Amino acid sequence: MRTKRLLLVLSVFIGVAFTARWWLPATLKLLSVKGDLIQALDSTIGLISNAITVVSALGGYLLIRDQQNNNKSDSETLEHRNRRVLLGHVENAWIKGVLDASLHGAALLDLGIKEDPEAVTQYLWAIKKESTDETLPAGTSMLEIFDSIGMGRSLLILGAPGSGKTTMLLELARQLIARAREDVTYPIPMVFNLASWTEKLTIADWLAQELNNLYSVPRKTAPNWVKGDKLLLLLDGLDEVRQDSRAKCVEAINEFRKEHGLTSLAVCSRSQDYADLNAKLSFEGAIEVQPLTQKQIAEFFNGFGKEMTSIKQVLKKDNTLREMAETPLFLSIMIMAYRNKQDFDIFVSKDEKAQRKHLFDTYIERMLERSNRKENLSFKKDMVFHHLNWLAGVMIENNLSTYHIETTQPEWLRYENQYRFYHLSFILSIGLVFGLFGGLFFGISNELSDGVSSKLLIFSVGILTTASGNNLPAYFGSGLILGLFGCAMGWVYNKIFDEVKMIDKLEWSWKVTLSNVTVAISLALVIGFVGWLAAGPFVGLVFGISWGLTQLMMSGLSGKQVEKATGHAQHLRNTLINAIFAILLDGTVLGLITGFLVFKPNVGWLNGLVGGLFFGLFFGLFDVMTYGGTPFAQHYSLRFVLGWYKLLPWNLLPFLDHCVDLIFLRRVGGGYIFVHRLLMEHFAK
């Protein structure tokens, strides 16, 4: 800003210097000054003006160059700031939100790790290793294992369900984040879940999309971060990809490695699911997380004293339960489920599936009964289980690892009658909005404008007219007609916008606006002709031009869902804000023009402007549906249906937070995940 002001001052100096060469001698002649003096002054002024011009030009050049250097410096600073922001996003979402909040205790055990070179197809330059039953030395960190592979490293992490694969991946992420903060040239570690990958996308395109969706990296910038090898990729959940797409996912990762060989990455998968594939990852290394030893399990239980005496006795007799205890997840759940339990209360069975089901059921029951949890009597135990059963089922069916309330879609409704009820609810909600607000806005505008408003609607002649004063039947009549019209509009919107897609921000484009000039002119002519027939040529001209201009202005707007949700229901709030902005923008521009030029001559400036604003707000209802109103109405219509059929509770956010308190869910950014996929699968069954 300061540079622009200085450049403006210098430009003024140059202008004054040039003009002084011409106007000063002319002024002196008019004042009858002697010619010799004028000639002398002219020479002096010429030298001075030339000097001012040269100095000003040189100063302008130096200022511009300095500004360019500052911009470059600012750009570098901005890149470093973006780097810090990304590192903060990863740390908050995955380290603080998931790793630090993981189920107690067992995550702190020193898990055994065995190298498994046969699990991957190694590159020719990779150091060949033979398979061995020996585990790596105790205390070997994931960072040490990762570093041992070298630059452009790639590592596959395998393990049984609940063995601690994700914990080890996130522990690696914690150490890499610390390193990246110390070394600004080090790639940024980013955690992604492969569950959202589809065969339609390459890994590079999917990463760019996830960078935008999860970490708020702009769409134009995200591909450059991927192509520039600026990221270190930590990919969880290969086994969570759709079963018929997993082999394709492996091939896509291998193809990505060929194109981005300098990008380091690690991938997690369940051992058996990976072994069942007919393809292997082309990686430099692979490790497999080993079961806990009986010594580790005994030492872990001993840390709780007499509270775990009964379970230790049962483990000696029950081989199935003892094998389950070798998995950190089940060991943690046993602590919560069987603490202070008598041995006869602990289920014993040789059937692993039955034993696992009973363990999860006991864990859920204990969590619901914990005396130190926050009391929330509005959620009954059976309904908590029922709601989580439905939520877990749709998350697995739709390959979702994280649930945001805004991601709820109509296709999640499993029965035709539920789907029809949703469509009916949406159509009626649009009719209700048009009937209530449309009738109110139109009625007030018509009264303040002394009936001019009704003349501007060709379909309203003889139907939506109102008398002066308080005329409730007229308000009711206009509201009823507009409500029916809103239902028709709702039916159209329902056909056009089948997917619920929130609008995080509105963008305006000159290019799009100019491309719609012809359409706007055609619309203005039609509306102007209607206004001319209804209220005369002047009213038709003004109304046509104002309507055409506002629609041309609004046509340049486009809505996008591009931002990561950093708070609960953030996408929903953004959508509502954008809808309100759209109706105010459209309504204010149209209303002020119409009120000042059309209504004011008939009813005065105050009634004219106020009536015009309400008239503009009425017409703004048509645009608000395009810029946020439709997804907002769709979402709450869907929430109404889900609550009606008791699939999810009416007060959804308090329920999800209640489940976090019960340690069934965790908060991640603005969404929720189950504490473990095995628990999600248990609820789904």
pLDDT, residue 204, reads: 93
Q: 624-659 b/e with 16+ CB inside 10 Å = b?
A: bbbbbbbbbbbbebbbbbbeebebbbeebeebbbbb
- The 3-state DSSP class for residue 573 equals helix
pLDDT in tens, 530-588: 767 766 777 677 777 777 777 777 777 777 665 455 556 777 888 888 888 887 777 77
Q: What is the rounded CA–CA span in Å between residue 280 and residue 257?
A: 13
Q: Which of 18-32, 138-152, 155-169, 303-317 has the least mean pLDDT?
A: 18-32
Q: What is the pLDDT of residue 72?
A: 46
Name the average pLDDT for the chain: 76
**Do residues 125 and 199 share a domain?**
yes
pLDDT in tens, 639-670: 999 999 999 998 898 899 899 888 899 887 77
Report the C-alpha gap between 632 and 636 in whole angstroms: 7
Tokens of 251: 């091939």
In a domain, residue 524? The reply is no
The token duo for 232 is 């270190």
Q: Averaged over 299-313, what is the pLDDT?
A: 80
Does 333 lie in the same domain as 196?
A: no
Q: Do both 215 and 333 map to the same domain?
A: no
Give pLDDT, residue 436: 75
CA distances (Å), 176 to each of 95, 263, 411, in order? 11, 14, 40
Contact indicator for 87, 181 with CB cutoff of 8 Å? yes
Q: Read off the pLDDT of residues 420-450 as tens digits, 9 standing for 90 and up.
A: 999 999 998 888 887 777 666 666 666 665 5
pLDDT band, very low/low/confident/very high, at 343 (cuts 50, 70, 90): low
Task: Report yes or no on 470 lying in a domain.
Answer: yes
Is residue 528 included in any domain, yes or no? no
Same domain, residue pair 473 and 560? yes
At residue 266 the predicted structure's pLDDT band, cuts being 50, 70 and 90, is very high
Q: Are 365 and 345 in contact (CB under 8 A)?
A: no
End-of-domain residue from the set 264, 293, 322: 293
Let me know: does 652 contact 384? Beta carbons within 8 Å: no
Task: Give strand pairing partners of 192.
Answer: 235
pLDDT at 188: 92
Regarding whether 471 and 448 lie in a shared domain, the answer is: yes
CATH number for the domain including 284?
A: 3.40.50.300
CA of residue 436 relative to chain centroid, distance? 32
Domain of residue 318: give its range: 300-372
Q: What is the mean pLDDT of residues 338-343?
A: 72
Residue 392 lies in a domain: no
639 domain residue, yes or no: yes
Question: What pLDDT sits at residue 462?
Answer: 37
pLDDT of residue 118: 75
Average pLDDT (339-347) is 68
Q: Are residues 144 and 18 in the same domain?
A: no
Asked if 530 and 458 count as a contact pair (C-beta separation under 8 A), the reply is: yes
For a pLDDT cut of 90, what percent of the chain falls above it? Answer: 16
Which pLDDT score is estimated for 515?
Answer: 81
- pLDDT digits over 137-152, tens only? 777 888 888 888 766 6
Q: Are residues 247 and 360 in the same domain?
A: no
pLDDT at 178: 92
Domain assignment of residue 677, yes or no: no
If pLDDT is split at 50, 70 and 90, which confidence band does 453 have?
Answer: low
Answer yes or no: do 310 and 265 share one domain: no
Could you tell me where the DSSP H helices lie in 536-649?
Answer: 537-555, 570-594, 600-603, 605-624, 630-644
Tell me what pLDDT residue 144 has: 86
Q: Which of the listed residues 353, 372, 391 is the one where a domain comes to its end?
A: 372
Q: Please report where in the chains the tokens 């007499």 appear, as a residue.
A: 306
Cβ atoms 329, 292 nearer than 8 A:
no
The pLDDT confidence band at residue 465, using thresholds 50, 70 and 90, is very low
Strands 265-270 and 231-236: what pairing? Answer: parallel
What pLDDT is attached to residue 119?
A: 76
Could you tell me the CA-to-CA distances from 67 to 8, 72, 178 in Å, in that order? 14, 9, 35
Mean pLDDT of 171-191: 91
What domain count does the chain have?
A: 4
pLDDT score, position 468: 35
Ranked by mean pLDDT, which of 4-13, 474-483, 617-626 comes out on top? Answer: 617-626
403 inside domain: no
* Same domain for 186 and 217: yes
Cβ count within 10 A of residue 506: 20
| Same-domain pairing of 155 and 216 | yes
What CA–CA distance (Å, rounded) separates 120 from 191? 21
- CA angle, corner 324, sides to 321 and 325, nearest 5? 90
Mean pLDDT of 259-274: 90
Report the alpha-carbon distance of residue 137 to residue 120 in Å, rounded.
22
Above 90 in pLDDT, residue 60? no
> How many Cα neighbours within 13 Å face the side chain of 283?
27
Residue with tokens 């209640």: 658
User: Do the bridges between strand 505-508 and strand 557-560 make them parallel or antiparallel, or are there none, so unpaired?
Assistant: antiparallel
Which of the given ranges, 340-349, 365-374, 408-417, has the highest pLDDT on average?
A: 408-417
> Using 50, 70 and 90 to split pLDDT, how confident is the model at 451?
low
Question: Is residue 242 pLDDT above 80, yes or no?
Answer: yes
Task: Please report, rounded to a whole number, the percentage of residues in the chain having pLDDT higher than 70.
Answer: 71
CA 571 to CA 659: how far, in whole Å?
22
Nearest to 494 by CA among 588, 398, 389, 634: 634
Q: Nearest CA to 97 among 175, 181, 191?
A: 191
What CA–CA distance (Å, rounded) separates 653 from 108?
31
Which of 675 and 34 is assigned the larger pLDDT?
675
Residue 670 phi, psi dihedral angles, 5° rounding:
-100, 15
Residue 269 confidence (pLDDT): 93
Q: Please indicate, yes or no, if residue 390 is contained in any of the structural domains.
A: no
Q: Where are the alpha helices (DSSP H) in 339-415?
A: 352-369, 381-397
Question: H/E element holding 16?
Answer: helix 2-30
Q: Residues 299, 331: contact at Cβ < 8 Å? A: no
User: Residue 203: pLDDT band by 50, 70, 90 thresholds?
Assistant: very high
Angle at 567 between CA 566 and CA 568, to 5 degrees: 135
Same domain, 456 and 596: yes
Residue 648: the pLDDT is 94
Can you give the pLDDT at residue 156? 92
DSSP conformational letter for 137: P
Q: How many residues does the chain have?
A: 685
Over 50: is that where the pLDDT of 249 sits? yes
Instruction: Write out pLDDT tens, residues 307-318.
Output: 777 877 888 777
Which one of 236, 268, 293 terminates a domain?
Answer: 293
Q: Classify each residue of 132-143 as buried b or exposed e, where b means 16 or more C-beta atoms within 10 Å of its C-beta.
A: eeeebeeeeebe
The pLDDT value recorded for residue 83 is 83
- Amino acid present at 197: W
- Which residues, including other chains, have CB under 8 Å from residue 24's CB and lie 6 or more apart? 41, 42, 45
Same domain? For 7 and 120 the reply is no
Choice among 4-13, 289-298, 385-394 with the minimum mean pLDDT: 4-13
